[in-house]
């Protein structure tokens, strides 16, 4: 438990605002609003925590609260009749921390529990934390600091959504609303604040809660909506903070109250809240607030229900239609300026276009926000023809409003050239293609206010912009810019010891100027490094802030390193600044003394310092210690107390066929070898040293796992690393700030944080074709042209969406090449680093050639769903193999009432409508596939082509060859092959599942090799490294080789279980989360009479692994007889003969 709390605290601390995000030095507290007594300097904060059935989460929740940097807390835990062990965890915390007060009541719901907490709270301030969520450790301190200063009635911070243990996402609306600190505002000032209607993102004055009688409704969902809106409307003022103060957990089982939109009772409660809030807003009689409410109600209240309605019953649909119709009809004309275009169109389509049209719109343009537009007069509007809208849509609903015309900006490079700061980047306005007239300028605004400094820019073509833009119908490659900012202008406009300038990108188009901070920056080069210039004893620093983008600071209080001899440092300081000491956090490591020449000298004493590889801070006697900077550094410019073991400075990087050559200067000792380390591949090479010069050659290819032929590395970035702590850095000219941006090289050097060297393989000249815009162009060009042409004798194979895995498709292709050598067979791959099967022509999936062949092929052979845009032309046949016999229910076979499966079901039904034939392995598989996809066409029960390998005579040879390719000797091998989980994600993509205790396996079975086979939809995720204790074989193309070479297989609900049944390899089912799948269910019961041992912990598996592999399980034979009745080693031949056999 302690270790878990430590990990949580570390994660929360890592998401603090950085020093460059800090708010300005605080001034004395302002007078509170009229009628409010001032708050104490350290007010008591009551944190109300309702608890009900959260034993999995309550420890994390309380740990985050009790670990706050603000310590004057009262934690009021309200036990709402919790039936599980939640209160046992609370009692453990209460025994250690007397700040916890526990209140018990019978279960009455969240609203009642919060109300009880308000009644019990004794603090000057009150906040709420739901017991399945957490808060960053500085959250309450950030609230209190502002409220003590302003005396506002409450403060509002930003929230982020916790999607998994490591994935936290702050929504764009939250970033925009909380971009800057806004004190003492009202709802008229910031009507969009109503979007942040969450009680838990706020800290309230207790006297304000008492004055307005704030109570949460009881017995309904969405208990925040009405009382929090009332608080906004009643407040004399509130403060909007730029800080993330709340982490809202998305439960993987969908049990969170706010994750149940498809239920009728949920819809009922939400519409009641919408109606009551609208009544209160109308009573306010404020046009600005009413417009803000319309923007909020369509985006945050109704859109999720519109999405859910397409799969709901007629009663749900009709109820929502009537509500939305009423809101549409009662809206004043100017209300639509506050509503996003996609939400307006979705509301119109729900009411006027019908369910099928709404489904089509929600599946692409309205879900992504990429709405096709046309020019109406001099202004863009949604194109109803391209959207397929048939009704007479009002012009105000189609108009692209100011709410839609958002500025997007990316920082590409920073440099100082003479007396100017050179800023290169990208700036554009959504829905405005770069072919339309537009101008870009940079504006620099002082944090304390005053006149801005504005600098014009020069346009540039930037080839990779559309990757960043992510827009289907707009080309922004001509929206690059270069700005030269005169430093003297910023210095002249600055006063005091330090002036901070915030940078905004201003885009002028369609008759107006709009602006935004830089939202993103490139992940290499000078954009990662501060740019510094010292002129006339004034230091100008341009740095990056995750919240504010580009920040420029003009400093007259600087201290810099100008020389270093071992532990002795020579410093220079601004006039009037006297450095006194150097520190590593709280440890003083040197006294600074004048050296008699106008400079200063310090000798580091690091004895007793536990971690010296950190930035040095310099104390000057005024203000907080500041980082010591090196103006001549080629890395980030921050001075560290100790360096690395050795340092390889790289001067030259060159690429040729199959290798990258590096050379440079050596500082200190040299490593024996270097590695290119990417997320999916690693290569290595030796280092040659000649005096203080070094060179190395590292392969950019690797041998194919099939035949050893060289294949290029995957398209990724590769860090250049040594195994023994040496730093490999590059000089700035390797990744220069003025590098041409009008083309993209396939291989290029990159400088990362601190100047660390990397090399990157990109798509080069093919990059634009793979962007959203490029794909849209190919759809309307190459693909549409191919559809109009004739089919030709060509078989296009699209297996596992081009992820390079063979399985059934590989077996069928092998048989097809033998039976019909006259046919051209093309195999689609996402990346040239993946090997195709022998005898086929590879094609890059998504390329112009692929689109042309997809349209022209006489046959498409696939084992999954086709792309959404796929339109089968006349004369083409689609042969569906599917990816094995399914065990878990999916599609329409999922029991009724399971939320979230509607889009998946529609996708399967739409896809199945284009199948000409479905090949299955058994009568049961046929029935299950028809149930899941509603396919009613021809089925050929041929057996499982992928399982033919288990009947072949060369099984032993293939197992030996597979071990050789993987570098495995004769020792024991365990294949761990879990299926995917919805909750295991890296950002928005599913990641690899690792639930086994691999260390325990190695201890129990000496010499064991554990292979990890991830689900195919994780094939493009990072390869598990050596630290996992496993060898990641997710990208190994032929699954049957892995099963044959293994001594045992551990899987779960994966269809891979069926493959193992065809072999002689022992099988175990490892199901620590079986209950998560029980409601979805299985086509066949694996657990009543299992094919091997069933375990929920690694410890339960160990006896089987060490002494039970020979145990016979009758359930295995039963399953094999049921699922493999046709598998005699000739399934692929039957599939080929039926479709391509010669008459």
Domain spans of the chain, in order of start:
1-255, 407-555, 559-630, 646-766, 771-944, 956-1123
The mean pLDDT value for 684-688 works out to 95
Q: How far is CA 1132 from the centre of its chain?
A: 40
**Inter-CA distances, 648 with 629, 769, 1008, Å:** 22, 37, 37
* Range of weakest confidence among 74-83, 231-240, 1021-1030: 1021-1030
Residue 767, token pair as written in the block: 């990059």
Whose CA is closest to 252, among 1014, 1073, 997, 1082?
A: 1073
Span 837-883, pLDDT tens digits: 999 999 999 999 999 999 999 999 999 999 989 999 999 999 999 98
Span 745-771, pLDDT tens digits: 999 999 998 889 999 999 888 999 999
Span 510-569, pLDDT tens digits: 999 999 999 999 999 999 999 999 888 999 999 999 888 999 999 999 999 999 888 899
Percent of the chain with pLDDT over 90: 72
Question: Length of the chain, please?
Answer: 1143
In contact, 515 and 504? CB cutoff 8 Å = yes
Euclidean distance between CA atoms 394 and 423, whole angstroms:
43
In contact, 746 and 759? CB cutoff 8 Å = no
Residue 99, token pair as written in the block: 């700040």
CATH (residue range 1-255): 3.90.550.10
Span 107-131, pLDDT tens digits: 999 999 999 999 999 999 999 999 9
Write the class of the CATH domain 956-1123.
Answer: alpha beta
Q: How far is CA 454 from the centre of its chain?
A: 34
Provide the CB-side half-sphere exposure for 706 (13 A, CA).
18
- Residue 903 has a pLDDT of 79
Residue 1000, token pair as written in the block: 């325990």
Q: 1-255 and 771-944 share one CATH topology?
A: no
Assign a CATH topology to domain 771-944: Rossmann fold (3.40.50)
Q: What is the mean pLDDT of the chain?
A: 90
Q: How many other CB atoms are there within 10 angstroms of residue 790's CB atom?
A: 10
- Residue 369 has a pLDDT of 82
* Range of weakest confidence among 23-32, 227-236, 791-800: 23-32
- Residue 984 has a pLDDT of 43
Which helix (H) or strand (E) segment is 1032 a member of?
A: strand 1031-1032
In contact, 1099 and 999? CB cutoff 8 Å = no
Residue 684's beta-bridge partner residues? 675
Which helix (H) or strand (E) segment is 29 a member of?
A: none
Residue 446's beta-bridge partner residues? 501
- Residue 669 has a pLDDT of 83
In contact, 460 and 515? CB cutoff 8 Å = no
The mean pLDDT value for 196-220 works out to 96
- Residue 26 has a pLDDT of 35
Euclidean distance between CA atoms 470 and 771, whole angstroms:
7
Which helix (H) or strand (E) segment is 793 a member of?
A: strand 792-798
pLDDT band at 898 (very low <50, low <70, confident <90, very high): low
The mean pLDDT value for 926-954 works out to 96
In contact, 365 and 431? CB cutoff 8 Å = no
Residue 1082's beta-bridge partner residues? 888
Write the class of the CATH domain 407-555.
Answer: mainly beta
In contact, 47 and 135? CB cutoff 8 Å = no
Q: How many other CB atoms are there within 10 angstroms of residue 139's CB atom?
A: 29
Span 291-304, pLDDT tens digits: 999 999 999 999 99
Span 1030-1075, pLDDT tens digits: 999 999 999 999 999 999 999 998 999 999 999 999 999 999 988 8
Residue 553's beta-bridge partner residues? 500, 541
- Residue 249 has a pLDDT of 83
pLDDT band at 344 (very low <50, low <70, confident <90, very high): very high
Euclidean distance between CA atoms 925 and 941, whole angstroms:
9
Residue 718's beta-bridge partner residues? 759
- Residue 18 has a pLDDT of 34
pLDDT band at 16 (very low <50, low <70, confident <90, very high): very low
Span 714-748, pLDDT tens digits: 999 999 999 887 889 999 999 998 899 988 899 99
In contact, 431 and 380? CB cutoff 8 Å = yes
The mean pLDDT value for 637-646 works out to 69
Euclidean distance between CA atoms 693 and 709, whole angstroms:
33
Residue 682's beta-bridge partner residues? 677
Residue 1069, token pair as written in the block: 């089912």
Whose CA is closest to 676, among 608, 754, 740, 759?
A: 759
Euclidean distance between CA atoms 759 and 761, whole angstroms:
7
Residue 158's beta-bridge partner residues? 244
């Amino acid at each position: 438990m302690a270790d878990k709390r430590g990990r949580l605290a570390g994660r929360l601390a890592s998401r603090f605002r950085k020093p460059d995000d800090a708010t300005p030095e605080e001034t004395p507290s302002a007078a509170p609003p009229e009628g409010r007594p001032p708050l104490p300097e350290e007010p008591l904060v009551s944190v109300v925590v309702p608890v009900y059935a959260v034993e999995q989460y309550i420890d994390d929740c309380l740990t985050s609260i009790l670990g706050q940097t603000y310590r004057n807390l009262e934690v009021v835990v309200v036990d709402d009749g919790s039936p599980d062990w939640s209160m046992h965890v609370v009692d453990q915390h209460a025994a250690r921390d007397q700040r916890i007060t526990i209140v018990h009541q019978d279960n009455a719901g969240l609203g009642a529990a919060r109300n009880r907490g308000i009644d019990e709270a004794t603090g000057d301030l009150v906040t709420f934390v739901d017991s399945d969520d957490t808060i960053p450790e500085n959250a309450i301190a950030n609230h209190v600091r502002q409220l003590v200063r302003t005396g506002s009635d409450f403060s509002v911070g930003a929230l982020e959504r916790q999607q998994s243990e490591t994935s936290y996402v702050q929504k764009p609306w939250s970033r925009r609303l909380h971009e800057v600190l806004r004190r003492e505002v009202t709802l008229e000032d910031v009507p969009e604040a109503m979007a942040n209607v969450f009680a838990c993102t706020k800290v309230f004055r207790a006297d304000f809660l008492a004055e307005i009688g704030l109570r949460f409704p009881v017995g309904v969902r969405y208990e925040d909506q009405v009382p929090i809106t009332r608080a906004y409307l009643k407040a004399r003022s509130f403060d909007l903070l730029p800080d993330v103060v709340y982490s809202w957990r998305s439960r993987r089982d969908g049990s969170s109250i706010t994750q149940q939109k498809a239920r009728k009772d949920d819809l009922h409660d939400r519409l009641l809240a919408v109606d009551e809030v609208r009544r209160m807003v109308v009573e306010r009689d404020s046009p600005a607030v009413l417009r803000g409410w319309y923007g909020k109600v369509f985006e945050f209240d109704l859109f999720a229900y519109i999405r859910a309605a397409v799969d709901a019953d007629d009663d749900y649909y009709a109820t929502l239609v009537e509500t939305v119709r009423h809101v549409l009809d009662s809206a004043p004309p100017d209300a639509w300026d506050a509503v996003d275009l996609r939400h307006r169109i979705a509301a119109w389509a729900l009411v006027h276009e019908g369910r099928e049209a709404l489904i089509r719109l929600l599946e692409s343009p309205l879900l992504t926000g990429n709405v096709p537009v046309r020019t109406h007069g001099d202004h863009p509007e949604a194109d109803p023809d391209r959207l397929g809208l048939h009704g007479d849509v009002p012009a105000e609903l189609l108009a692209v409003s100011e709410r839609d015309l958002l500025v997007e900006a990316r920082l590409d490079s920073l440099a100082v050239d003479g007396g100017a700061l050179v800023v290169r980047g990208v700036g554009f306005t959504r829905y405005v293609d770069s072919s339309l007239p537009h101008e870009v300028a940079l504006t620099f605004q002082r944090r304390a206010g005053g006149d801005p400094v504005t600098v014009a820019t020069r346009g540039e073509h930037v080839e990779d912009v559309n990757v960043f833009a992510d827009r289907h119908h707009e080309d922004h490659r001509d929206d690059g810019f270069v700005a030269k900012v005169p430093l003297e202008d910023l210095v002249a406009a600055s006063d005091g010891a330090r002036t901070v300038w915030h940078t905004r990108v201003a885009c002028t188009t369609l008759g107006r100027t709009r602006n935004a901070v830089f939202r993103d920056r490139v992940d290499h080069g000078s954009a990662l490094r501060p740019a510094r210039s010292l002129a006339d004893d004034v230091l100008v620093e341009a740095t990056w802030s995750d919240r504010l983008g580009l920040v420029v600071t003009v400093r007259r209080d600087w201290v810099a390193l100008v020389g270093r001899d071992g532990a002795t440092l020579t410093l220079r300081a601004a006039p009037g600044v006297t450095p006194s000491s150097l520190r590593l956090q709280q440890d003083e490591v040197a006294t600074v003394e004048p050296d008699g020449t106008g400079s200063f000298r310090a000798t580091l004493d690091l004895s007793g310092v536990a971690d010296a590889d950190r930035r040095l801070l310099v104390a000057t006697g005024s203000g907080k210690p500041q980082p010591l900077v090196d103006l001549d550094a080629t890395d980030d410019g921050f001075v560290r107390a100790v360096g690395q073991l050795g340092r390889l400075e790289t001067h030259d990087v060159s690429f040729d066929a199959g290798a990258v050559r590096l050379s440079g200067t050596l500082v200190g000792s040299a490593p024996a070898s270097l590695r290119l380390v990417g997320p999916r591949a690693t290569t290595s090479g030796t280092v040659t040293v000649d005096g203080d010069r070094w060179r190395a050659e590292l392969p950019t290819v690797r041998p194919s796992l099939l035949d050893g032929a060289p294949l290029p590395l995957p398209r990724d970035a590769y860090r250049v690393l040594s195994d023994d702590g040496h730093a490999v850095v590059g000089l700035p000219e390797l990744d220069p700030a003025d590098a041409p941006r009008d083309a993209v090289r396939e291989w290029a050097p990159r400088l990362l944080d601190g100047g660390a060297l990397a090399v990157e393989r990109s798509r080069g000249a093919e990059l634009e074709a793979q962007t959203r815009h490029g794909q849209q162009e190919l759809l309307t060009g190459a693909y549409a042209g191919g559809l109009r042409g004739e089919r030709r004798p060509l078989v296009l194979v699209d297996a596992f969406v081009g992820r390079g895995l063979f399985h059934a498709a590989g077996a069928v292709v092998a048989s097809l090449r033998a039976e019909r050598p006259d046919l051209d067979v093309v195999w689609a791959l996402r990346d040239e680093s993946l090997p195709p099967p022998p005898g086929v022509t590879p094609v890059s999936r998504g390329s112009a050639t692929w689109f042309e062949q997809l349209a022209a092929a006489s046959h498409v052979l696939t084992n999954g769903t086709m792309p959404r845009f796929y339109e089968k032309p006349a004369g083409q046949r689609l042969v569906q193999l599917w990816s094995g016999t399914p065990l878990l229910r999916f599609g329409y076979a999922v029991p009724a009432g399971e939320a979230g499966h509607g889009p998946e079901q529609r996708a399967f039904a739409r896809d199945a409508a284009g199948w000409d034939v479905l090949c299955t392995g058994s009568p049961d598989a046929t029935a299950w596939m028809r149930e899941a996809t509603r396919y009613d066409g021809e089925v050929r029960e041929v057996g499982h082509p992928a399982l033919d390998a288990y009947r072949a005579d060369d099984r032993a040879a293939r197992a030996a060859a597979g071990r050789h390719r993987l570098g495995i000797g004769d020792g024991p091998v365990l294949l761990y092959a879990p299926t995917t989980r919805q909750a295991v994600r890296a950002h928005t993509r599913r990641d690899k599942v690792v639930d086994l205790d691999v260390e325990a396996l190695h201890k129990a079975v000496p010499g064991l090799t554990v292979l990890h086979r991830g689900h195919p939809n994780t094939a493009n995720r990072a390869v598990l490294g050596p630290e996992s204790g496993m060898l990641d074989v997710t990208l190994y193309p032929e699954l049957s080789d892995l099963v044959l070479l293994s001594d045992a297989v551990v899987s779960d609900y994966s269809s891979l279980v069926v493959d193992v049944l065809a072999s002689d390899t022992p099988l175990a089912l490892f199901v620590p989360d079986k209950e998560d799948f029980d409601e979805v269910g299985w086509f066949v019961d694996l657990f009543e009479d299992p094919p091997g041992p069933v375990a929920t912990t690694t410890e339960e598996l160990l006896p089987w692994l060490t002494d039970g592999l020979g145990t016979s399980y009758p359930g295995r034979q039963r399953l094999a007889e049921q699922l493999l009745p046709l598998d005699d080693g000739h399934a692929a031949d039957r599939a080929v003969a039926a479709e391509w056999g010669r008459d």
